[in-house]
Every structure is written in C-alpha cells, then in structure tokens.
Structure 1
Amino acid sequence: MEKEVQGLFQKHREEELEERRRLYRWNTWRKGLPLTVDAMTEKDLPLDMRFHEDKKIDFVGAEVTGLMEVVLKRLSTLLSSWNSLDDFAQIVWGHQSTLTKRVCESWKDDDFFGYQFLNGANPTMLRRSTSLPTRLVIPPGAEELQTQLERKLQEGCLFEADFSLLDGIQPNVIQGERQYLAAPLVMFKMEPDGKLLPMVIQLQPPCSGSPVPPLFLPSDPSLTWLLAKIWVKNSDLQLHELQAHLLKTHLMAEVFAVATMRCLSGMHPIFKLLVPHFRYTMEINTRARTSLISEGGIFDQVTNTGGGGHLDILRRATACLTYRSLCLPNDLADRGLLGIPSALYVHDVLRLWDIIFRYVQGIVHLHYSGDKDVQDDSELQAWCREITEIGLGGAQDRGFPVSFKSRAELCHFLTMCIFTSSAQHSAVSQGQQDWYTWVPNAPDTMRQPPPTTKDVTLEMVMATMPKVYQSCLQIAMTWLLSRVQPNRVLLGYPKEEYFSGPESKAVLSRFQEDLDILEREIVARNEGLDLPYEYLLPSRIENSITI
C-alpha cells in the first residue's frame, strides 16, 4: 500500500512538471546570451508570473509620469544643446534624493569620483592591482609617474578599473548623429584615510601603428582632467547597466526562475525556498526586452552603446561570466577588496551573504540529512543541469556546477541564487537615481570622440555632452528604474507561506532576526558618515527583482 501511495505521489509530481515544462519554455532572445522565458510580451507569460493588478497599475502609471516629466523638462528650456555645465540644473527638479543634491555639488572632486567605485551605483569594476596593467603605456618623460605607480603597487594600495570590454564596440547613431565610445583604464591610489583617488586615466587602449594615447593626470588643466573623468563615468554607466545590472542580476535570476519552474515540483523544498525570490522577475524582464533593450527602445534612443553595441557588450560579458563572480565572497577576494574600511558595499555584502547562507543552510539541513540525500535527489540534480547546460548554454567551463555532490555545495549555490535575486540587485539598482540624475556625473552618451590632446575647451566639453532630450530621458529613466516600489515585498518577508512546519518557521524567524540586527548596525554606522551607504539596508532590499 505504501509503495502504491509513493507511486501515485511520484506520478503526480511528474505530471506537474510535464505541464510546467509546457508552460515555461526556453527561448533564445539573442544568440550568445543566457536563455530567457519564451514570451514575446508579458501577456504570453503564465498567469502565476504576471504582475498583480496593483503592481501593473503602478508600473504603467510610473511610465506615464516619467514620459510626462521628459516632455515638461524639455519644454522648460529653450536650449537644444547645453552651453555650460551649470545649465543641467534646469532639468534637475522633481524626483531628487539628498544624495542627488550632493552629487550636483561634489561631482568634480577627485575623492568623490573615487568614492563611486567603492560605494556608488556600480561597485563592481574596481580591483586591487597585482601588477601594472600591460595596456597602460607610460610615455617617455613620465618616469616619475611610473615610479609613483610602482611604489603604490608595492604598498598594496594601487587599484584599477579597466573598461576594455568596450574596446571595438560600434557606437550608436542617435537621430542621425554619430555617437562615440571609449574603453578607459583608471589607476587609483588608496590613501591612509580611506579615500580612493585617481592617479592616471588612459581613455583608449594602445593600437599598433597608431600614436600612443595620452595619459590624463590630476595635474592637467582642470577642464582636461574633468573631461577625462566624464569619459570614464560614461563608460562606467554602460557596463553598470549592461553587465552588472542587466546580465548579472536580471538575466541570471530569470535563468534560475525558468529552471525552477521546469525542474522542481511544487512540493520540493528547494522550490518552496526559491520561488518567493522570483516574484515578477519574468514580467519585468519581458517588458525590458520589448521596450528598454529592444530595437528602437530606450537604449537605442539614449546611450552610445545602443543600436546593437549593447548586445555585443552583453555577449562579451556573458562569455566571461564565471560562477565565482556571482559568489560575492569569492568575487571580492579575487578583486582584492577585502579588509578596506571605506568599502561599505563590501562590508554589507559579506554580512548579507552570511545571513542568507545561514538561512539557506537551515532549510537545507532540515530536508537533507546528509550529502547522499542531495546526490540522490533527481529533481534537484536536473535543476542544476538545466541552469548550467541549457539556461547558460554550457557554462561548466566557467565554473558553474552540473551536479551537487554535497549539502555544502548546494547551500553555496542556493545562497548565490537568492543573493543575486535580492541583495545584489538592490546594490546595483537603487543608486541609479542618486548618481545619474546629475547628467554630467555619468552621461548616457557622448557626441564627440575622446580627446587625443590635452587642449580641452569648455566648448569641446559641451559639444561632447548629451543633448537636452537625451538628458531629460536619462533622468526620467533612472528614476523609473530605481524608485521605491510601493507594493514591494522585503527580503525575508515573503507574502506566501510555503513552509508550514515549526522547524522551517523557526529558520525563517532567525533569518528575519539576523536581518533586523544588520539593519540596526548599518543605521548606527551611517550616523557617523559624511556619505551614508544605504543600498544594502535590509529594509530597502526587495525579496525579488521587480523593477
């Protein structure tokens, strides 16, 4: 009798998964990228993955508000192009944060420029140097710079941000006007007080047979140095939005979500653990593919990587995406960023990773008594293979597992999935409005080529900056993409109750307590800071990617 019951139970699970695999099909949206759910528009998605009515009303309303703001701001100035950097203040009204105002005041300062690579909208580019980059060409007569760099390298306080991924990408054409791209390299030094200061900027990699690109220095004329930093921040915005934000959170979370729906039955403990962290992710990604990164979409209208270049960047970023880069303790160790007091993102990331891991471990150990239970779970092993071999197109050569041999391996992978879908998205999404509303701090496009000499005038700077319409659209879109969601569900507080047993509820309760403790720690720390870091406050982290 018991065998018959087990057989019926197993048959039910198999029928459920067969139906799910019919509903949740893979699709190749663009070759060379992670697979997506098979849906041309959000209306093609299964109902369980659609926005609820309140979310839909809010989202559509926000889009209308954003477009109205673009029109109003465009009409508020009679300019078609900017005459001075101060002119951008004409469109900085409406949705402003306290930090936005600080950016407007301090964006030209070198320490403020460096701070953004530690704790800004994109804290994923910086790494500690282990040698001088081979692409950095020190020209004759600059021996003093070479000496300074080597000294900082020996002291262990030389850092770099390399945007080589942009090298050779075809720039966009916006309204018939060609745009321009750079692929900068920035070398920084860490001061004893924790400030990260730029030492040298090289805007383009050296090409054989071409003149050696100039190195821009803090000692250059102020406009020359400022334009070099603006070029860096334009490049940083591109890789932030495409690599750190879109690929490494949105698209990865969608792979996890589709594989979960196809491989894990509703009664599976790992399904129950993960499914709250995929709420609304398929719809927000589908909407992005139809309006944001689609042909003629916002990227094509606004950024110098639009028009197809953004897809080439995504392909390059996908080809070098590793499992370790998604596991933040490994990634931060590989980038040499551990133990830096002023790296607030790093500190908060590590605390959150440990808290999520403890939660995952508690659930896993309740349902798997040992490693053999993990090895023998056919649904779980199929889920792992589905992610690595199908969703990611065979990513085992980049460290992604094709099976789980132990509870420890499973816990590490599940922590990565939840962290990617919640905390990391928060870290790279919330800062868009703060750091990109003041357009000169990170322009979405550049209308003139990078300077090849140090003779820079204000006219050259302004001719390089985006036009008024693109600037207005940048502000509206960064607000739309990073605003607080009124119907948000916070990390650790899922709306649905998937685990009903007292042991599972105790694990979730401990998770919530750990998050509350971290909240108080971050609030107390921020009270003593000139620039509070708030993107990883648990009270600001959504349980899933919904925007």
Structure 2
Amino acid sequence: MKADYLIYVGTGDKKNAGTDANVKIILEDEEGQRTGEIELDNFLKNDFEAGKLDVFPVDKIVNLRLGNIAKIEFWRDNSGAGSHWFVDRILVENRLVNTTFAFPVFRWIQPNRHYIINHLDTSLPQFDTYREQRAFELAEKKKAYEYTQKAPGMPVQWDLLKSKINLKAKSKFVALTSGRWNTLDDLINVYDKNDFPPPKHANGWKDDVYFGNQRLASQNSTLIKLCTSIPEKLAVTEDMLKPLLEGNSLQSLIDDKRLFIVDLDILEDLDCKDGAIMCSPIALFMVDNKKQLRPIAIQLFQQPGTDNPVFLPTDDPNLWIVVKMWFNNADSTYHQSLTHLGYTHLIMEGICICGNRNLSLSHPIFKLLAPHFLFLIAINNRALQLLVSVGGWVDKTMNCGAKGLVNLMTKGVKNWSMVIDGNLKEDLKKRGVDDPNVLPGYHYRDDALLLYDAIQNYTSKYVDLYYDSEETIAGDDELQSFAKEMALEIEKGGGVPNNGVLKTKKDIVDVVSCVIYTCSVSHAAANFPQYHFYSFPPNCPVTMNGTPPKTKDPVDADFMLKTQADKDITLDIMIVTKLLSNRGTQSLGDFEVQYIFDPNALKLVSEFRQELKKISQTIKDRNKTREFKYDYLDPESIPNSIGI
C-alpha cells in the first residue's frame, strides 16, 4: 500500500463482537493537529468481523503532515443488522515518520458515543485529561460486569457434562460401573495409557513415608505446621510413641524442629450429607533419622476418649491403613472446599469483580491484573452449576456433600487474610516452615518461593513505573476504591493492608502479588495434581463408607474394601479429576491477551518471562534427584488464570 497512513483495527474474538455499523475516526498528533473525520470502510469488503484485523489506507489526510500520533477519537453509528462492536486495539502506522502508534481499546463500543484514547492508554486517574469519559466508563463497567458475571460470553466454553459423557464412553470398564470392587488391586487394571493413565502415586497408598509426602508435595500442601508443643486434646504420651521415635524424645524432636502437626479442627461438627461421617482428625508427623517425614500418631476426632483412641503405625497394619484413609478423606474435604474452591476460585472472583468495578481500563494496575482474571467467572459459574449444586458431583462423591462443602467454605473464608494467607512468605512463617532447612522434602514450599519472589520482583518494578510517592498513591481514587471495596466483605477477599487503605508501594505490591500468585501458582498447586492423587481412591479417598474405627481391634482386607467407593462413584471421581487436571490455557507470563502496551512495562514483562524460564529449568533439575518428583509448579505447567 502506498498510503501515508495505515489504520489497523482489531475486532475482538467474542460473541457478537463484530459490527456492520459505520465507523469514523479522527487522528491527533502531539502538536494538536487533527484530521477531519475519516470513514473506515474498505470497498466491497465486510470489515470489522469478530477476531479479524482490518487495514484501512489513508492517503494525505487533508494535506496534513502529522507527527507522532498522540490520540484518536472514534465512534460508530447504529446502522446495520449487527451493530454491536468490541474493539481490542487500534494501531496507526504513520509512514511519514516510520512509526506505529498503539491504542489499546478492549471496550464494547456504544453507538454514537465518541471514544478518545490516548497513545498506549495507560495512566493513573488523577493524570488523565479525560476524567469525565473515564468516570462514565467505570459507571458503565459496574453495570455491565454484573451482567457479564452471569453470561456465558467469556472466551472459555467448557462443557463439563459433555466432556464427562465422552470420557465415560471411552472408559474400558464402562460396562462394570455398578456394584463393589472385589479387591482393591482390581482397580489398577482399569487404567490405560490414553484417557486414564495409571496415576503416578497408585502404589504408595500403604506406605507411611508416602503418606508423609502427601503433606509436602500433593494437591493440599498448605496445612502442615511446626509442632512446638503437644496440644492437650491430642492424647499421645511419650511411652506410647517411644517405639517410633528412633531413640529421640518428643522434646528433642520439638527442640530440633522435627515434629509437625496437621489439625483439621475446622471440620468438627461439619454438617454432612445423610448417612455420611466426616472426621476432624489431628495427625502428628516426625522427620525421621533419614530426613523423611512420616506419621507417628493420628486421632480421628478432636476430643480424646475411649471411643476416640490415638492410632499408631504399630497398630494392626490394615487398621492403620484405614485410619490413614479416613484422615485423607478429611484432608480431601478441606482441599476441595477451601484450598481449591474457596481460597482460589471464589475469593479471586470477588477480587476480579472488585477490580473491574473500580479500576478503569486505562489504569496500569488493571492492565497488570487483567490477564489473571480471564475465564474466572465463566468457569466458576459452570463449576457451581455442575459440581457444587444439589445432586451434583460433590453430593454424589464426597462425604460432606454440597451443603457441607458450602458450610466449610463459609467457615474458612471468614478467617482468610490477603496479607497473611494470600502472602506465601507470611503463610509459611505463620506455620513455622519458612526456614528451608526445616522440613526437608517440602517441594511445594521450595518451588513456590521461587515463583513468589519472581512475581513480587515483577510487580514491584511495575508499580515503580507509575507511583513516585505516597502522595501519588493517596491521590489515586480508583486504586483506593479498589482496596476499600475489597475490605468491605471478607468473603470477597478481606485482610487488605491497612484495613482497605493502600499507603505505600509495598502495600500495592503485596495486594497485586497476592492476586497474580493465587490465580496462577496457588491454583495450579491445588488443581492440577488432582487426577494423580484422587483417581486411585485408596490413595486419597474423597468418599469413605461406614464408620471410622473406634477401637484398635484388627480389621481384615474385606473391611478395608467396604470403606471404599463403589464402581460408579470411582469412575465419576476419575473422570472429573481428569478433566480438572487438564491445562487448557497458556503458561504463566505468556498472556492470552496482552493488555500492556507501555514500552517500559513491556520490558518488565519480557524480564519476567526470562526469569520464569530460569525457574522452569531449576525445577526440572531439582526433579532429577527428588525421590517424589513434583512438577506441578514448573512455570511451563502453570496457567495465567483460573481457567478450569
């Protein structure tokens, strides 16, 4: 094309994003020179189709020789059969100065409303020359976002029900999905290399060291705490544990930071579905002389008593295995309700809504967070409909049922704090496991810290670009509204610094890092190991039948088998955890939508990607020597957002 100017218009790849309306644009350079109205229309071509980039040559605009294009003004009318229009971006190539100028839009364009977009469209509200337009758009965004929350118009279209049917049809034991298993070993024969590969951990379910490793590098590795004293409610004694302590005393283990505890007291008196029982167990773990974590005592309910004994590895072997299964059943309930659904999906949905309601599309913090909000509301709506609804997957497969899961989420979310639970380092410190020399083999901690540091470094440098003083932070009314609204309801992301007032750059970095880390790393750690830990039920049963043992009487293999899920429930667990473990979006740092156009910020994105590559290689090298490999936090395997 020989034109002096080329205008590129990218229409969004969304439902009803394209338009047949008439579109006009005005260009303005840094000197204030403005063109007249330019109609964007390629003769005999259907412009502005969804997902398309159209090019419009413009030759000698009213005899002006424009310099650097500083802003554009564009609008559409209401003509045509389809006049809705979502614009991703507009680029103006000025061939007279050999430069292309980017104008991010990412907006639904209303008819007959003029939109003025500055070059790169990134500014704090107090420095925006078009405050009235910005305020209007925020008001519209608040109304529109409530609508979007309920609509299936997000980029992800995940039909869980259809996917379940397809996988079930492929299953090699589809004709055998009723009744009970003859032996636990029979279950191993149902796996294949394609749709249902053998779980990585199907052979470890009887082993105590493997059970210990489930606290350190599984789907639920955020509960274990350093034990500094034995709680009175745990009825263990030195004499009872002596055969297990390898010549150590309990006090020496405490002094050497080798004693750890998991206390699921939050499950006490949980309202379960009819006929089901939920334990609220306490487990004591020891780092043995080989530096391996192993369980040394489990009490299945909170209050000690003759019908609630402390079970030990020296008890009847089958009984000890059943006790560990009941513990893991409780652990899986906490995992699905809080670690996974409550503390990632639902809390981040509240923050996503809050961000969209309070931060303009032009706000640099919105541009930083937006890639990590993609798909979240759509997947949450789908999951709540099909998994957590009455009669859904949770009701069918989990002892707590949907009612118990919701009740547990309500209890847990009230105590969640962005500055503690949402801050990896503070969470590790609170649990006494922040020292890398304490608790060897804690692969979740060791890998997650690399990623958390990288995210904090990235966000810190990004925040430095736009905030030069505490006065600038205080004067950013959109940012302060964002923080204030987050602090209103703890169910939507409480525990904001300073009770909802961001005062320093560190405050901003802590909030932003929490969101990015939770939507990417935390969710990946909680979600993607599910198939390998849950699909072989004895390994980590989400369903347990019967009654937890109340005495130390020996049990036989048939007793163990009767505690396990029937064939149809087993298949349902396999299918759903397989679907949930699939990765359908791009890796962390490789954003599906690039909202950032500021060259200085883009440089930071590039640096972040390079750091993630280094971390990926470090984790790959670590896994070469690990007894229990843990690849779930390799950045290549971590999506940007909660898309499943």
TM-score where L is the length of structure 2:
0.75
Retained in 1: the 8 A contact 2:589–2:605? Answer: yes
Q: Does 1:181 align with 2:278?
A: yes
Structure 2 CA distance for aligned equivalents of residues 76 and 24 of structure 1: 46
The correspondence of residues 96-107 of structure 1 with structure 2, limited to 5 A, is 96=196, 100-101=199-200, 103-107=201-205
Retained in 1: the 8 A contact 2:311–2:323? Answer: yes
| Structure 1 equivalent of residue 578 of structure 2 | 479
Q: Does 1:530 align with 2:627?
A: yes
Superposed CA deviations along residues 36-93 of structure 1, whole A, max 9, x for unmatched, are x852xxxx25x4xx135xx547x665333234356x534136x611232212224333
Cα 1:17–1:330, aligned 2, differ >3 Å: closer, same or farther?
same
The correspondence of residues 182-261 of structure 1 with structure 2, limited to 5 A, is 182-206=279-303, 211=306, 213-261=308-356
Structure 2 CA distance for aligned equivalents of residues 275 and 393 of structure 1: 17
Q: Does 1:412 align with 2:505?
A: no
Superposed CA deviations along residues 423-462 of structure 1, whole A, max 9, x for unmatched, are 1111111100111111111111111111011222223222
| Structure 1 equivalent of residue 40 of structure 2 | none
Unaligned runs of 5+ in 1: 27-36
Q: Does 1:389 align with 2:484?
A: no
Secondary structure of the corresponding residue to residue 507 of structure 1 = helix
| Structure 2 equivalent of residue 458 of structure 1 | 557
The correspondence of residues 288-303 of structure 1 with structure 2, limited to 5 A, is 288-303=383-398
Secondary structure of the corresponding residue to residue 314 of structure 1 = helix
Retained in 1: the 8 A contact 2:390–2:402? Answer: yes
| Structure 1 equivalent of residue 417 of structure 2 | 322
Superposed CA deviations along residues 378-429 of structure 1, whole A, max 9, x for unmatched, are 0000001111214636945x87740100011111110001000001111111
Cα 1:61–1:470, aligned 2, differ >3 Å: closer, same or farther?
closer
Unaligned runs of 5+ in 2: 1-31, 33-115, 119-126
| Structure 2 equivalent of residue 21 of structure 1 | 142
Secondary structure of the corresponding residue to residue 119 of structure 1 = coil
Structure 2 CA distance for aligned equivalents of residues 354 and 140 of structure 1: 41
Structure 2 CA distance for aligned equivalents of residues 320 and 9 of structure 1: 41
Retained in 2: the 8 A contact 1:97–1:434? Answer: no
The correspondence of residues 503-542 of structure 1 with structure 2, limited to 5 A, is 503-542=600-639
Q: What displacement does 1:327 show? A: 0.6
Retained in 2: the 8 A contact 1:322–1:399? Answer: no
| Structure 2 equivalent of residue 32 of structure 1 | none
Structure 2 CA distance for aligned equivalents of residues 204 and 69 of structure 1: 41
Indicate the RMSD between aligned Cα atoms, in angstroms: 2.6
Q: Which residue of the other structure, out of 362, 382, 385, is the alignment partner of 1:287?
A: 382
Q: Which residue of the other structure, out of 524, 536, 543, is the alignment partner of 2:640?
A: 543
Q: What displacement does 1:316 show? A: 1.1
Q: What displacement does 1:148 show? A: 4.1
Q: What displacement does 1:143 show? A: 7.4
The correspondence of residues 28-177 of structure 1 with structure 2, limited to 5 A, is 39=150, 44=151, 47=153, 50-52=154-156, 55-56=157-158, 62-69=163-170, 73-76=173-176, 80-93=179-192, 94-96=194-196, 100-101=199-200, 103-138=201-236, 142=240, 144=242, 148-173=249-274
Secondary structure of the corresponding residue to residue 330 of structure 2 = helix
Q: Which has the higher helix share?
A: 1
Retained in 2: the 8 A contact 1:159–1:188? Answer: yes
Q: What displacement does 1:7 show? A: 8.1
| Structure 2 equivalent of residue 346 of structure 1 | 445
| Structure 2 equivalent of residue 31 of structure 1 | none
Is the deviation greater in 262-271 or in 383-392? 383-392
Q: Which has the higher strand share?
A: 2
Structure 2 CA distance for aligned equivalents of residues 393 and 426 of structure 1: 20
Count of residue pairs the alignment pairs up:
513
Retained in 2: the 8 A contact 1:137–1:212? Answer: no
| Structure 1 equivalent of residue 531 of structure 2 | 433
Q: What displacement does 1:144 show? A: 4.1
Q: Greater relative contact order (Cα 8 A, min sep 6): structure 1 or 2?
A: 1
Superposed CA deviations along residues 520-541 of structure 1, whole A, max 9, x for unmatched, are 1111111122322101101001
Superposed CA deviations along residues 83-132 of structure 1, whole A, max 9, x for unmatched, are 3221222433353457x24x222221110110110011110111111211
Structure 2 CA distance for aligned equivalents of residues 60 and 168 of structure 1: 32
Retained in 1: the 8 A contact 2:413–2:490? Answer: no
| Structure 1 equivalent of residue 75 of structure 2 | none
Structure 2 CA distance for aligned equivalents of residues 320 and 536 of structure 1: 26
- Computing the radius of gyration from Cα coordinates, the structure with the larger value is 2
